[in-house]
Homo-oligomer: A and B are copies of this chain.
Amino acid sequence: MTATPPAGPIIALDVMSGESGVAEAVAAADIAAERYPRLSFLLFGQEAAIAPELARHPRLAGRARIINSDDVVSMRDKPSQVLRRASTTSMGMAIDAVKQGEAHAAVSAGNTGALMAIALFALRTMKGIDRPALAAILPTLKSESVMLDLGANTECDATNLVQFAVMGAAFARTVLGLERPRLGLLNIGEEELKGTEELRTAATILKSAQLPMDFVGFVEGDKIGTGDVDVVVTDGFSGNIALKTAEGTSRLVTGLLGNAFRASIWGKLGYFIARSALQSLRNHLDPNAHNGAVFLGLNGLVVKSHGSANARGLANAIGVAHDLVRDDVGRRISADLAGIRMGPTIGDSTTEPNAA
């Protein structure tokens, strides 16, 4: 730990809050360190548990520093409880490192509500953004797409939705590497008159916005998985329902598929012969492959990993953090907000866009 760390992005990694344990979390840092040679880490958690794991990964020598924290946020802790303990938990300390400028992004596999509450309280929303949103990467028939908000805001107005669109498009440009992502607003029909007043107002604003994206209008839930749009924007209630429904349906179909293969000797034999071909399906649907949801719109980057992600999955979430730091996604969002003209009915002084 005496070597000078590389001058690249510094990740504040919450080692303790996930469900997969310290060994997997440190192994994730090692995988990410191999992928990104300039990356270094601050590892937050119980030093006595982390140190022996760290010693197993020589690549991390000089690139990872442990910062001891004995307190851990559990999956059952309420956001109000964890806010009081923010300064003593691995999660709270990792986010504080971003606030203090000691790290460029925080990554945690912990309790989403707690992470959201601590991040919002410590980092506050960016100028021009009223509410942060949780964005994630989903598999599609063609490749991947981005959806937001996935549950940070139960109810949203048109201004929120427009801001989510700006943030989601910037996220897709960074993480999916698209120049002009195609963006749709989730609705219960594609016609202009469908849905709520908030959705119709947001669509009107987005239609006239000057942004590096193509607004395709309203999309229905069955378009989330087709790959016809790159960004799906919705309120946190519908977004969470859609995300969980997609996860549940994916498990339903693969579960029925497993039953079908097991039901007869021909099914078992067919599965045995096709098993390596079927591996590509499993890889494409593996949550670890698309890991790394992001709280967008804060003064600092916070990436949420699946609670049960393995080392490779958590390394993918660290990769998302790396890309967002590299592309300075916060600056992109600020610049893009200047391309939006809010109507007088919904804009007020606090929601006026301002170029960075």
Contacts and interface: CB of A to CB of B under 8 A. Distances in A.
A224 B248 contact: yes
A278 B267 contact: yes
A273 B266 contact: yes
Contact of A277 (B236, B247, B267): B267
A223 B196 contact: no
A221 interface: yes
A269 interface: yes
Interface in A165-212: 186, 188, 195-196
A253 interface: yes
B223 A253 contact: no
A100 interface: no
Given A237-B188, A253-B249, A274 B266 contact: yes
Contact of A188 (B154, B188, B263, B277): B154
Contacts of A242: 221, 241-242, 245
Interface residues of A, number: 60
Interface stretch (A43-51, A61-69, A123-131, A279-287): A279-287
A284 B252 CA distance: 11
Given A240-B221, A243-B221, A253 B254 contact: yes
A34 interface: no
A140 interface: yes
Contact of A270 (B221, B245, B275): B275
A220 B226 CA distance: 23
Contacts of A273: 266, 269-270, 273
A55 interface: no
A355 interface: no
Nearest to A150: B188
A240 B199 CA distance: 15
Contacts of A151: 188
Contacts of A350: none
Given A225-B249, A238-B237, A248-B221, A266 B277 contact: yes
Contacts of A196: 154-155, 237
Contacts of A224: 245, 248-249
B249 A245 contact: yes
A139 interface: yes
A197 to B, nearest CB: 10
Contact of A274 (B141, B223, B261): B261
B252 A139 contact: yes
A269 B271 CA distance: 10
B248 A277 contact: no
Given A257-B281, A260-B280, 4 more contacts: A151-B188, A220-B244, A224-B249, A257-B278
Top 3 A-B pairs, shortest CB-CB distance:
A270-B274, A221-B244, A267-B277
